[in-house]
Amino acid sequence: MDTQLKGARVLVTAGASGIGLATALAFAREGARVHVCDIDETHLSKAAGRELSHSVCDVSDPEAVAQLFATVTAKLGGLDVLVNNAGIAGPTAPCVEVKLADWERTLAVNLTGQFLCAQHAIPMLAHSRNASIVNLSSAAGRFGFPNRTPYAASKWGVIGFTKSLAMEVGPLGIRVNAICPGAVEGARIDHVFASRARLRNVHPDVVRDEALARISLGRLVTAEDIANAIVFLASPLGANISGHALPVDGDTQALF
C-alpha cells in the first residue's frame, strides 16, 4: 500500500526511544523527511543516526519549543505532520500522597507540551496539503486508573484537547487525532508493572497477568503497532479522519 508520504515533512517529539523512535523510523521508511527531538541528548544522537535529523528539546519548556520549531523550519522548510508523542508515566501513588511537583510535571510534559508544539505547528501546517497532528493519549485516557491520577488526568486531557482542536483547525485543512495505546511491550511497561506490584506487595507477574486478562487479544501491543496506526492516520490514506481517539490496545476492557 502506498502511503503517499514520500517527501512529507514530519516532526516526532520524544523520538530517542520507544514509540517515538519506532514512529520516526516508520515515517522514514515511507520516504518522509523526519526530525526528532528528545530531552535525552545521549540516546537521541545514537537513535537518530543519519536517517533522522534531531535536536534536544524539553517539550514543557516554551523557549525550547520555540527553538525546536525554528530548527524544524530551517531543516525541513515546512511541516506536514506533528506527532505529539512526548509523555512521562508520572508517579504511582494514592492521590493523597502525590507530590504537587510530580502532578505539575506530569501535566506539563504530557499536556502542556502538546499544546505548546501545536501552537507553533498550526501556522506551518496551514500551508500543507496533507496537514495532520497525532497526539499520544493512552488507554488511561479512556478508563479510570487508580493510583495514577496525574497520568490519567493528563491523557483524558489529551482527548479533550484533540477533539476541540480538530473542530478549530478543520477549516484550515488540518486533521487532529489521538492514539490511545494499550500497554506496550518494553522497559516502560515493566517499570509500571513493578511500581504497581510494589504498591500492592505482590510479584510484578501478578500485575502483568491481571493486565493480560483484561485484554481480549490476550497480549500486549508493540511500539511498531502504534507507529503503523500513526503513519496511516497521518498519511493521505486517512484524509477524512479527524477528531478521533483511536485505541490500539488489543481490545483492552479495563486497566489493571
Active site residues: 151
Name the β-bridge partners of 45.
none
Q: Which residue, 7 or 119, is less far from ligand NAD as judged by CB?
A: 119
Q: Please report the DSSP string for 190-220 in residue order.
A: HHHHHHHHHHHTS-HHHHHHHHHHTBTT-S-
Grid cell digits, residue 70? 525554528
Q: Are 151 and 110 in contact (CB under 8 A)?
A: yes
Q: Are 22 and 227 in contact (CB under 8 A)?
A: yes
Q: 216 to 235, contacts with ligand NAD by CB under 6 A? A: none
Among 118, 136, 153, 255, binds ligand NAD (CB under 6 A): 136
Q: Please report the DSSP string for 160-174 in residue order.
A: HHHHHHHHHHGGGTE
Q: Per rule CB under 6 A, is residue 40 in the interface with ligand NAD?
A: yes
Among 116, 174, 184, 248, binds ligand NAD (CB under 6 A): 184
Q: Are 9 and 78 in contact (CB under 8 A)?
A: yes
C-alpha closest to that of 184 among 230, 149, 126, 223: 223
Write down the least CB distance from residue 122 to ligand NAD, Å: 20
Write down the least CB distance from residue 169 to ligand NAD, Å: 21
CA distance 31 to 38: 22
Q: Are 147 and 155 in contact (CB under 8 A)?
A: no
Q: Which residue, 82 or 136, is less far from ligand NAD as judged by CB?
A: 136
Write down the least CB distance from residue 186 to ligand NAD, Å: 6
Q: Per rule CB under 6 A, is residue 114 in the interface with ligand NAD?
A: no
- Provide the mask over 69-98, with x wherever binding to ligand NAD is found by CB under 6 A and - wherever it is not: ----------------xxxx----------
Among 3, 17, 106, 235, binds ligand NAD (CB under 6 A): 17
Q: Which residue, 17 or 242, is less far from ligand NAD as judged by CB?
A: 17
The residue ranges that bind ligand NAD (CB under 6 A) are: 13-14, 16-20, 38-40, 43, 57-60, 85-88, 109, 136, 138, 181, 183-184, 188-189
